Amino acid sequence: MPQRPKPTMSKVKFSFPFFIYVLWIFVNTSCNNSRNHSARDIASSPKELQQKASTHIADLIKFAKDNGGKIDDSTELKYFKPLISVYEECKHKTVWSMGEEWLPIGDSMYHFIANAKLYGLFPQDYHFTQLSSIYNRIFNDSNSNSDRKDATLWAKADLMLTDAFFHIVKDVKLGRLPQDSITLRKDSALTDVFYVHQFDTLMKTGALTATIHKLEPKIAAYDLLKQGIKKFLENYDDKVYTVVPSPTKNKTKYKELLQKRLYEGGFIATDSIQADSVLLSQALKKFQETKGIETDGKIGNETLIALNTSDKERFVRIAITMDKFKMLPSEMPEQYIWVNLPAFSLQVWKGDSIEMRSRIVCGKPATRSPVLTSAIAELITYPKWTIPASIIEKEILPGVKKNPKYFQKKGYGIYDSKGKEINPDSVDWKKYNKGIPYHVVQGSGDANALGVLKFNFSNKYAVYLHDTNERYLFSRNDRAMSHGCIRVQAWQQLADFVVNHDNSDGKALMRLDSIQLWLKKKQKHSISIRNKMPLFIRYYTCQGENGNVVFYNDIYGEDKKLAEKYFTGK
* CATH number of the domain encompassing residue 349: 2.40.440.10
Q: Which residues contact 77 (CB under 8 A, 6 or more apart)?
A: 64, 69, 70, 71, 83, 159, 160, 163
What is the model's pLDDT at position 328?
Answer: 93
Report which of residues 327 and 180 the model is more confident about: 327
What is the model's pLDDT at position 86?
Answer: 97
Neighbours of 295 (CB within 10 A): 15
**Confidence band (pLDDT; 50, 70, 90) for 567?**
very high
**Confidence band (pLDDT; 50, 70, 90) for 13?**
very low
In whole angstroms, what is the distance from residue 278 CA to residue 409 CA? 45
What is the model's pLDDT at position 477?
Answer: 87
Highest mean pLDDT among 130-139, 204-213, 507-516: 204-213
The H or E element containing residue 241 is: none
pLDDT at 141 over 70: no
- If asked whether residues 50 and 168 sit together in one domain, one would say yes
- If asked whether residues 133 and 273 sit together in one domain, one would say no
Report the mean per-residue pLDDT for the chain: 89
Q: Which of 12-26, 72-86, 226-240 has the lowest mean pLDDT?
A: 12-26
- If asked whether residues 48 and 113 sit together in one domain, one would say yes
CA neighbor of 221 nearest in space, from 359, 368, 348, 375:
348
- If asked whether residues 62 and 138 sit together in one domain, one would say yes
In a domain, 239, yes or no: no
Mean pLDDT of 477-483: 93
Last residue of a domain, one of 160, 191, 216: 216
Last residue of a domain, one of 216, 241, 263: 216
Mean pLDDT of 156-166: 98
Mean pLDDT of 154-176: 97
pLDDT at 143 over 90: no
- If asked whether residues 524 and 453 sit together in one domain, one would say yes
What is the model's pLDDT at position 184?
Answer: 67
Report which of residues 18 and 349 the model is more confident about: 349
**Confidence band (pLDDT; 50, 70, 90) for 5?**
very low
Q: In the chain, how many domains are there?
A: 3
- Domain extent, residue 195, equals 35-216
**Confidence band (pLDDT; 50, 70, 90) for 38?**
low
The per-type count for the chain, helices as H runs and strands as E runs, is 19, 19
What is the model's pLDDT at position 393?
Answer: 85
- If asked whether residues 74 and 212 sit together in one domain, one would say yes
In a domain, 340, yes or no: yes
List residues bridging with 345 in a β-sheet: 340, 359
Mean pLDDT of 166-186: 86
Mean pLDDT of 315-336: 95
In whole angstroms, what is the distance from residue 324 CA to residue 539 CA? 9
**Confidence band (pLDDT; 50, 70, 90) for 142?**
low
Phi and psi angles of residue 377, each rounded to the nearest 5 degrees, phi first: -115, -15
pLDDT at 34 over 60: no
Cα dihedral: 142, 145, 148, 149 (round 10): -150
- If asked whether residues 118 and 255 sit together in one domain, one would say no
What is the model's pLDDT at position 22?
Answer: 43
DSSP strands (E only) in 142-220: none
In a domain, 3, yes or no: no
Report which of residues 538 and 405 the model is more confident about: 538
pLDDT at 110 over 90: yes
- If asked whether residues 290 and 341 sit together in one domain, one would say no
- If asked whether residues 289 and 196 sit together in one domain, one would say no
What is the model's pLDDT at position 36?
Answer: 54
In a domain, 12, yes or no: no
CATH number at residue 260: 1.10.101
Mean pLDDT of 58-83: 95
Q: Which of 10-24, 335-349, 448-462, 500-514 has the lowest mean pLDDT?
A: 10-24
- If asked whether residues 109 and 196 sit together in one domain, one would say yes
In a domain, 462, yes or no: yes
In a domain, 395, yes or no: no
- If asked whether residues 352 and 467 sit together in one domain, one would say yes
pLDDT at 6 over 50: no
Q: Which of 221-225, 429-433, 473-477 has the lowest mean pLDDT?
A: 429-433
Q: How large a percentage of the chain has pLDDT more than 70?
A: 91
In a domain, 185, yes or no: yes
What is the model's pLDDT at position 502?
Answer: 93
Q: What pTM, to 2 d.p., does this model score?
A: 0.86
What is the model's pLDDT at position 207?
Answer: 97
51 phi-psi bin (left φ>0, alpha ψ -120 to 50, beta other): alpha
In whole angstroms, what is the distance from residue 216 CA to residue 194 CA? 15
- If asked whether residues 125 and 68 sit together in one domain, one would say yes
Tell me which DSSP letter residue 476 carries: S
pLDDT at 26 over 90: no
**194 touches 82 (CB < 8 A):** no
Mean pLDDT of 107-120: 98
